[in-house]
Structure 1
Amino acid sequence: MLNAIVLINTSPNTVRQTAERLAELEGISEVYSVCGRYDLVAIARVADFEHLANLVTERINMLEGIIETETLNALQVHSKHDLETMFSVGL
């Protein structure tokens, strides 16, 4: 499983519609609207790099309202939540 963070800028006044379309794409697990340099952050969870490349270049970048993207490939997960899940015994 490959995880990636896709930082996205949209056309003016299209954040909500673009986020809804992104959330429907296979391989996107969450979409956040954010403040700052980017308008949206999408979390991608795919089988391998080839699937990620297809998702970003052929599906995300082709959506109406997307101006630009920057993709960050996750190397390791550092999450208290994940550690708690891993060590829980069904409590």
Structure 2
Amino acid sequence: LFCFAAFIGFEATTIYAEEARDPKVTIPRATYFSVILIGLFYMVTAWLMAVGAGVDKLLPALQGLQDPTTFLFGLSDRYAGTPLT
């Protein structure tokens, strides 16, 4: 649900159509670029989380949590330390 909601807003590029020199080229290019960039960011983030937890231990670790949203904070605490988490 979070990943789906994160894509909301990429269509805001059409707001700047009046300010662009060539809006028929610039706006679609900016929209596609933002969708691809956001998608790549979430793919890399999901991959890093899986590698950080261990691929074999990922599912049991998530099932053992009462609140799965704390999973990322647990990984951050393990690898970056409590002050950065």
TM-score normalised to structure 1 length: 0.25
More strand by share: 1
